[in-house]
Structure 1
Amino acid sequence: MRTPAKAAGLAPAMEWRDLERADEIVVVSAPSSWTDARVEAWLDWAGEIQPKAPLGGGPACYADRIAQIGLTRGLFGDKADASAFREALLATMLSGVATPAGGQTGLTLLPDVGEFEFESAVKGALGQRRARILAAQAAARLDAALAQVADAVRRCSGDPRACGDVRKNPALARAARKARELGADDRTILDAIATADAPRPPLTEPGSEREAPMIASASRQGVSAGDEAATLAAQVGWETSALTLALSPTDADLLSRGVGVSAAIDASAFLDDDGFDIERFTYVCHLWGTALELERDERPARLGLAGVGDCLLSQGLSQTSVEGRDAAAALWALAVGAALSASAEAAAALGQDETFAQDRQGVLKTLAERRVRAAALRSDLATEAAAALATAHALARKHGLRSTALVGPFEDAEASLRLGGAPVGAAGAISPVSVTQTADGWLLPAFSPAAFEALSTEGVDLDAARRHALGHGSLLDSPAIDHVMLQTRGFTAHEIEKAENALREHQGLRAAFAPAIVGAGFLRDVLGASAEDVARHDFDTLAFADFSPTEIATAERHALGAGTLGDCETLNPELREAFRSVEAPTFADRLAMLVAVEAFACLPTAVAVPVAFDSRPADAVRAQAAAARAGVRALRLHRATAPADFKLDLPEEPAAEPARAAPLLDKIGREPVVTERVVEKIVERDRSRRRLPDRRKGYIQKAAVGGHKVYLHTGEYEDGELGELFIDMHKEGAAFRSLMNNFAIAVSLGLQHGVPLDEFVDAFVYTKFEPAGPVSGNDSIKSATSILDYIFRELGVSYLGRDDLANGDAGQFNADGLGWGKPLSEDEIDDVGPDPVLASKFISKGFSRGAAPDNLVFASFGRRRVEGAERPGSEGEMCPACGDLSLIRRGGLTVCDTCGAQSDRPGPVASS
């Protein structure tokens, strides 16, 4: 196998770098543009550091080892080929284009028995054993308490949600308090309530069995439908977060075998002024595919990509769009074709994989299907991706494949750090607002290369975008807290300068004005803060200076910026969406991107499906089914940890009854016999109908609800209580009017049989159906949701005094309930007669809105006020016919000047 010389010029210019390690200062050679953190990540990976070697010598050792393996196993024809491969592989690592990933974790090796460290290790092991014994004893008591919690839920009959609520199930609350007293946290109690109906497994000794990662396969249809097996798998994943569910037996087998070695390639490193360098990208993928085939053992190797999201962002593509997902899928298809071509070339020298030999036709068919799907992608790389897969398919038919599964997305934080922060994954991207290191070691906020490329390509005002995302860097000209306002509150130019110098370093305005920066003496002597306040770690200088939280937030945004570009109004909507998809991706968007990528990847990715900590197993079943329907190849339920301050809202335990006093003894020392008598009072209401009088009072209210006229007629008893109602509609259909009339008859019968009016009001107010809307013609009710809502609002306001049902101004009515009437003059007020009559016999209580007092009376009919002494009969007696004081004597008869009645009884003599 001969390596083409296409790696020339990849290695950047190197410089000497002095790095301070934990116990020494090392001098290494590293690219000048790299940050110290990135160089230290390579040194951590290298392990043993070679002074003055490029990146500590780790990349060179790795390239030497891989080239020697290839030369030994006959993949390279001679040492020249092996040396060319080594140089090309080393150049990709020194340039930061690719990195090995996925290191193995070995067993813990104890020191020699004769050394002091051995005694410390053994004492630690004995302490752990003692802790396990004590934990087992406490766990037994705690498990019994949790069993009582579950039993309190199972024994409860009624609404299942109420049975599982500690506020509504007293037995559950008592059991939960007992479990809490024994040391159970509220998350564990909540789990016991949620799994009350599930069988409880036997308690094992803590530490005897670990929650090791597990894998199981299931059919996609079964998981989507939620059958019994899928439900059980969801419950296991909900409890342990350690079960990976593969949706095909092939993927289950691949995940169960694990991955021996991995490598990651930064796809964003192949972007240049001319676009994406396809030739160099496929060459690097082919190179690292060969390296992984040489390094791997019986387990599969895995090649992943980083910075795919940066490639999309630099082109202005959103990860939530179909075009963005197709572009990412085309990039992964290109990598798969190049890597599998390397695997086929390695198979020609090293032999085929047994898996390929057993399922040759199936693997070739899958490659052909991927080629067809790649050609249909809406991406500029679709043609090249289909060609790369076609090449891999032809080589696989000729030589076979060394690995049937070689490329797949994965996550590795250490590998991302070695690649300059480019996240490894399906569509990882650096945050558009990141940091850069200056020559003197300062870290300053700046746009990521992909973000800068996207802004420049779209012709965006970079200064406006920079002010929005990164801020002005100073409080000068701030709209909320500027230098002038600070000076008026007592700050001098010296304190303001120190605070602004600390703005970027402390990442916050409050931290920049902390006492350690502006000076504790200044806060005490000038601002008047006490020594105790200044000593507090959470002392807020700006709040103490009477700046509001809104002013502080506005000033901080002016100085430090928003930190995002997805909400920048100067960008076009498509570009804002592209930045938003990187800055705040939703789980659904990330799932859709992973499904698009896995259509071409060889290895599946167990996507972590988030589940809330207070969820129930049924919620986990639904989340698992939704992920399966989305099209993922494998999933793992990941239940969130409960917050540190999570507490169940347990009701207070009822106070114990006070101790009963000692019983009194009788004269011979015996305790008196106390017998209990049960007194039962039965109140029976008369169920006979109370009929209305034939001549009854009431009122008629005309109104319009939503433009439909309604006439409400009421009939009252003599005491003013409502006894009947009639509802008439104007220009409505015969069926609707008949229903309303019969409904009114039913309500009237209920009222006459003793049903309280407030029961009808509570039952029918707020009912919703057409017609509905504004109400006209009623001075108290201005809107209603239906005809019934309006009618029973009116009855409630008029007869029950329910002013809460009115939405008008009830204060427009005076005491007599008849509107704005002028008060009676002194001459118009009648004297109260000897036999007053209650006004309720003549005035409708509903019409008066209940405002007429109960003691309001009317004088006798026919009385008139005596206007003067000269009036005839002013000194007369009361007429028995009309009751007026106008009975006088005329001759032998007494005559009433008012009604003309005559009698022969003596009366007063009329004056002449």
Structure 2
Amino acid sequence: ACAGDAQIIDTAALHHVTRVMTTALDILPAAAPEFRPLQLGMTNMAALLMSKGLAYDSDQARATAALAAAFVSGAARRASAEIAAEKGAYPAYEAGAKDSLQAVKDTMSLLTGTPAAQANALRRAAPLRPALCPDVALADAARQVWNEAYHLGRETGFRHARLTGMSGDWPVQALLGAESQGLMPVATQLHGKSLTPLVPAALKALSYSAAESNDIYFHAAGHGSLLDAPFVNHKDLRRQGFHQAALDAVEAALATALHIRYAFNRWTLGDDFCEHMLGFSPEEINDEAFDILSALGFSEEQIKAANAYCCGTLALAGAPHLKPAHIPVFDCAVPPVAQIGMQAAVEPFLSGVSAHTIRLDYAATVDDVQKLLLAGWERGIKKLRFYRDNGSLLHDLAAPAAQAPSDTKNEGSQMVESGATRKSA
């Protein structure tokens, strides 16, 4: 992963942006004038971690995400104190000034890794271990900005009771160019037939050479051409009767094809070419199951090798040079428990709620949801949402049919509305 002195976040720029956005949001009419709450959020966290060579399900990633959230919250809290110096604290501040300042002190204690005991707290947040973050400057900056916020707030109060949270507004986040939503993992390594820009950035952060990165890229995304492919290439195709116009037609089709077989068909090559140049009968050409490459004598192994060269494997697993220890960095199928761990690491540094949605497999059961809810509760998480793949208005969260009980008296316990799976817990 990143070296210990590597900069993951430009704290000066992030501080400036946070201050500007806090000021801009303060200008808008307050939803609750007595408390003037804001929700300044973060997104693209998983994309940032991947681009820096950090595996989502790692202590380093959790520490980095927690410190990033702490820094944004601290910068927003400091800006709120500055605004309060000019425009006054929120109307209800005086009644809860002591508690407000204590909340700031509690956050400061979390940043030192020695959280203070909190009165009436059923579950204490897991202590942060700043030393695990590769960006040493980020930990120092987070502590400094919270210290400044506390000393300013003690004199001026705060303009806002609540400042930070995690929004679930994906359309807005996508508009901003986010590769991942909120704290959710990166959804895919590929954009169409190309690798997401996060992958080359991660390979660079992990110290792979340009040549090694290219080999890894071509393994996953392919070369996009059969020109120099093994077995099924231009030279071999010319022997089969392909002229330049036919080769050009195939190459054009390969630009969007997910498999080379999809480029070899009557619509790409034309019936006349298939019949007169390749020697296929009209009956063969009209057969929907007809495979031109196999009919030309190419074996399944040869087609598979040529396809891997041209279209890639659509995955990084098995790529040359890629070390097994680095594969988790590019993992997009992050288990729900790991996502809960990430949320538990970040949420103590947010004054609002984290709107994090956990995507469940189609075969997820009610028991699975209950276990995840308990895991979230044990870690002190305020809110969890669940979404199951292929969910509809009314959906079974049941075991596979082969494992379903024969009696129906417990059938009702296996039924939940998908709307309920999306409700907060």
| Fold match by TM threshold 0.5 | yes
For the pair 1:470 / 2:221, whether they are aligned, the reply is: yes
Could you tell me whether the CA contact under 8 Å between 1:524 and 1:531 is conserved in 2? no
Pick one of 186, 197, 200 that aligns with 1:452.
200
Pick one of 331, 334, 342 that aligns with 1:593.
342
For the pair 1:308 / 2:39, whether they are aligned, the reply is: no
Aligned equivalent of 2:268: 517
TM-aligned CA deviation for residue 557 of structure 1: 1.9
1:645-698: per-residue Cα shift (whole Å, max 9, x none)? x99799xxxxxxxxxxxxxxxxxxxxxxxxxxxxxxxxxxxxxxxxxxxxxxxx
The 3-state SS of whatever aligns with 1:398 is helix
User: TM-score when scaled to structure 2?
Assistant: 0.73
Aligned equivalent of 2:90: 353
TM-aligned CA deviation for residue 391 of structure 1: 1.7
Which protein is richer in strand relative to its size? 1
The 1:543–1:602 alpha-carbon spacing in structure 2 relative to 1, beyond 3 Å, is farther
User: TM-score when scaled to structure 1?
Assistant: 0.36
Could you tell me whether the CA contact under 8 Å between 2:362 and 2:390 is conserved in 1? yes
TM-aligned CA deviation for residue 546 of structure 1: 5.9
For the pair 1:362 / 2:99, whether they are aligned, the reply is: yes
C-alpha distance in structure 2 between counterparts of 1:357 and 1:547, whole Å? 81
Could you tell me whether the CA contact under 8 Å between 1:292 and 1:301 is conserved in 2? yes
The 1:283–1:488 alpha-carbon spacing in structure 2 relative to 1, beyond 3 Å, is same
TM-aligned CA deviation for residue 539 of structure 1: 6.5
Could you tell me whether the CA contact under 8 Å between 1:471 and 1:558 is conserved in 2? yes
1:61-118: per-residue Cα shift (whole Å, max 9, x none)? xxxxxxxxxxxxxxxxxxxxxxxxxxxxxxxxxxxxxxxxxxxxxxxxxxxxxxxxxx
Aligned equivalent of 1:558: 309
RMSD: 3.6
Report 1:468-547 matches (<5 A).
468-487=219-238, 489-525=240-276, 526-528=278-280, 530=282, 534=286, 541-542=292-293, 545=296
C-alpha distance in structure 1 between counterparts of 2:297 and 2:336, whole Å? 41
C-alpha distance in structure 2 between counterparts of 1:584 and 1:615, whole Å? 15
The 1:451–1:611 alpha-carbon spacing in structure 2 relative to 1, beyond 3 Å, is closer
Could you tell me whether the CA contact under 8 Å between 1:481 and 1:551 is conserved in 2? yes
For the pair 1:393 / 2:150, whether they are aligned, the reply is: yes
Unaligned runs of 5+ in 1: 1-272, 436-443, 651-912
TM-aligned CA deviation for residue 619 of structure 1: 4.7
1:253-288: per-residue Cα shift (whole Å, max 9, x none)? xxxxxxxxxxxxxxxxxxxx9764221111111111
C-alpha distance in structure 1 between counterparts of 2:24 and 2:140, whole Å? 27
Pick one of 365, 384, 387 that aligns with 1:635.
384
Aligned equivalent of 1:663: none
Between 1:323-332 and 1:361-370, the stretch displaced more is: 361-370
The 3-state SS of whatever aligns with 1:595 is helix
Aligned equivalent of 1:403: 160
Could you tell me whether the CA contact under 8 Å between 2:44 and 2:181 is conserved in 1? yes
For the pair 1:281 / 2:38, whether they are aligned, the reply is: no
Q: Percent identity?
A: 25
TM-aligned CA deviation for residue 351 of structure 1: 3.8
The 3-state SS of whatever aligns with 1:301 is coil
Report 1:140-151 matches (<5 A).
none
Report 1:84-123 matches (<5 A).
none
Aligned equivalent of 1:751: none
C-alpha distance in structure 2 between counterparts of 1:275 and 1:520, whole Å? 57
TM-aligned CA deviation for residue 398 of structure 1: 2.2
Pick one of 26, 30, 33 that aligns with 1:297.
30
Could you tell me whether the CA contact under 8 Å between 1:480 and 1:555 is conserved in 2? yes
C-alpha distance in structure 2 between counterparts of 1:349 and 1:276, whole Å? 30
C-alpha distance in structure 2 between counterparts of 1:327 and 1:477, whole Å? 44
The 1:350–1:566 alpha-carbon spacing in structure 2 relative to 1, beyond 3 Å, is farther
Which protein is richer in helix relative to its size? 2
TM-aligned CA deviation for residue 361 of structure 1: 2.7
C-alpha distance in structure 2 between counterparts of 1:320 and 1:522, whole Å? 54
The 1:616–1:415 alpha-carbon spacing in structure 2 relative to 1, beyond 3 Å, is closer
Pick one of 169, 177, 198 that aligns with 1:412.
169
Could you tell me whether the CA contact under 8 Å between 1:405 and 1:602 is conserved in 2? yes
The 3-state SS of whatever aligns with 2:250 is helix
Could you tell me whether the CA contact under 8 Å between 1:336 and 1:600 is conserved in 2? yes
The 1:424–1:339 alpha-carbon spacing in structure 2 relative to 1, beyond 3 Å, is farther
C-alpha distance in structure 1 between counterparts of 2:185 and 2:371, whole Å? 27
Letter in 2 for 1:523: C
1:413-441: per-residue Cα shift (whole Å, max 9, x none)? 32233323433412665855547xxxxxx
Rg larger for:
1
The 1:571–1:618 alpha-carbon spacing in structure 2 relative to 1, beyond 3 Å, is closer
TM-aligned CA deviation for residue 616 of structure 1: 5.7
Q: How many residues align?
A: 365
C-alpha distance in structure 1 between counterparts of 2:58 and 2:233, whole Å? 42
C-alpha distance in structure 2 between counterparts of 1:320 and 1:601, whole Å? 20
1:826-868: per-residue Cα shift (whole Å, max 9, x none)? xxxxxxxxxxxxxxxxxxxxxxxxxxxxxxxxxxxxxxxxxxx
Pick one of 134, 141, 153 that aligns with 1:384.
141
The 1:520–1:633 alpha-carbon spacing in structure 2 relative to 1, beyond 3 Å, is farther
Could you tell me whether the CA contact under 8 Å between 1:328 and 1:597 is conserved in 2? yes
TM-aligned CA deviation for residue 318 of structure 1: 1.7
